[in-house]
Amino acid sequence: MWTRRKWCNRLLGTLGVWTLAPIEALASADRPLFIERVLARFPAPESNRELCYRADVTIQILKVPLFRRRGVGGAVASVREYRREAEQALGISFLAGSNPSEAGGVNRFGYIEEVVVEHQSVPLEAAYFGVMTSSPEDNFESARGALGESSKTQAYYAGIDGYLKGSKSVSTEAAFRSSGAYTWGSHPPLNELMKNALRDNGSQVKEKAEADARWEIPVTFLYAVAKSLRQQGGRQTLRYIYHGHEFTLETWEQPDPVAGKDFVQRNLVKRAEDVIRVEGRSKQMDANKRAAFTLWKDQQDRSGLPLRFEFRPKSFLKLSFEADPAVKPPVTASWRREVAAPRGE
């Protein structure tokens, strides 16, 4: 388990050999995103583990299932390892969305990517970026109103560009409109979509700069989840930062051989006893907001990618993502593919 004391001791031991560059000004329409600037220091990733998922949906009222459907969408998760001289970095991305043809015309998708620079496995610097369609449905009736919306020519989006280093957090949020024809499987490079939004006077842009001595270890959400999945056994608690807010992530796990048998039958694991169920709870410290999710992992797989995960983005909506070799990643699954090509090509 990563305790704050252990993190601090290891970090302080590196200060004599590690120079922390200052955080530059907040978002400018002409500058690259923070994550672009960090990854520009690295050549192609040394490793890239990718897993695709099928998305299933359950709609329920008062915990009574009213509707279930398989294959309403899909997802792709990726874990990449970068290295340049003394620097190493872990990159994690997740793209998910609905298939409008299978989801009653509902078109939703989102992408998040993080990169955390480490020295001797201690996080020193982090950047993150994301874009998602804006989803206003708060209840079942408003969700029904979204059916058939894929024919709309315009859609609302929200984007985030953030950076963490040396107890400081800077980030920029943007709310903007763009084409309603984009889907999780077909969209332009999302980093360019975000930068265009920052240049557009019609976008609503919110910048934030915060500092807190407790944030000396820059940890992001996907990084915290991946670290939890890579470690074995017990209950773990990690802190992470997002848009100037501090969160705690608590996870605990137990063997799940029943689910393991299903994964063995689908040729996703070799042994049912290697399947572990992980419960996760996230809490925003300054607002007491909570979120819960459940993951299943193969304890022999050190990538940090789950076999299955479930969560409830709305009180009436349960989403399940199942690892499925039949699902292929979209060509536009990660705009990082081009950037990560070996230099000189």
Confidence of residue 16 (pLDDT cuts 50, 70, 90): very low
The per-residue pLDDT for 322 is 96
Q: Locate all alpha helices (DSSP H) within 34-152, ordered by sequence.
A: 34-39, 140-144
**Burial, 267: exposed, middle or buried (Cβ in 10 Å; 0-12, 13-18, 19+)?**
exposed
Mean pLDDT of all residues in 284-298: 92
The per-residue pLDDT for 34 is 95
Res 7 pLDDT > 50: no
Domain that holds residue 21: 4-334
* 342 belongs to a structural domain: no
Res 296 pLDDT > 60: yes
* 255 belongs to a structural domain: yes
CB 182, CB 153: distance < 8 Å:
no
**What's the first-to-final CA gap in the chain, in angstroms?**
41
The per-residue pLDDT for 224 is 94
Candidates 240, 254, 281, 268; CA nearest to 126 is 240
DSSP-assigned states of every residue in 16-67: TT---PPP--S--TTSPPHHHHHHTTS-S-SEEEEEEEEEEEEEEETTEEEE
* 91 belongs to a structural domain: yes
Confidence of residue 149 (pLDDT cuts 50, 70, 90): low
* 138 belongs to a structural domain: yes
Tell me how far apart the alpha carbons of residues 145 and 278 are, in angstroms, rounded to a whole number: 34
What total number of domains does the chain contain? 1
Tell me how far apart the alpha carbons of residues 324 and 266 are, in angstroms, rounded to a whole number: 9
Phi, psi angles (nearest 5°) of residue 162: -135, 160
Tell me how far apart the alpha carbons of residues 245 and 285 are, in angstroms, rounded to a whole number: 8
- The tens digit of pLDDT for each residue in 256-280 reads 999 999 999 999 999 999 999 999 9
Tokens of 6: 């252990």
* 343 belongs to a structural domain: no
CB 115, CB 90: distance < 8 Å:
yes
The per-residue pLDDT for 79 is 94
Mean pLDDT of all residues in 229-247: 89
Beta carbons within 10 angstroms of residue 328's beta carbon: 12
Cα–chain-centroid distance for residue 154? 25
- The tens digit of pLDDT for each residue in 68-120 reads 889 999 999 999 999 998 889 999 999 999 988 888 888 889 999 999 999 88
For residue 178, what are the contacts with CB-CB under 8 A and spacing of at least 6?
A: 154, 155, 157, 193, 196, 197
Tokens of 40: 């520009």
For residue 102, what are the contacts with CB-CB under 8 A and spacing of at least 6?
A: 69, 71, 72, 73
Mean pLDDT of all residues in 51-61: 90
* 344 belongs to a structural domain: no
CB 7, CB 217: distance < 8 Å:
yes
CB 178, CB 154: distance < 8 Å:
yes
Tell me how far apart the alpha carbons of residues 322 and 305 are, in angstroms, rounded to a whole number: 12
Mean pLDDT of all residues in 211-225: 92
The per-residue pLDDT for 63 is 74
3-class DSSP state of 267: coil
Tell me how far apart the alpha carbons of residues 163 and 24 are, in angstroms, rounded to a whole number: 10
* 190 belongs to a structural domain: yes
* 341 belongs to a structural domain: no
CB 332, CB 186: distance < 8 Å:
yes
DSSP 8-state class, residue 342? P
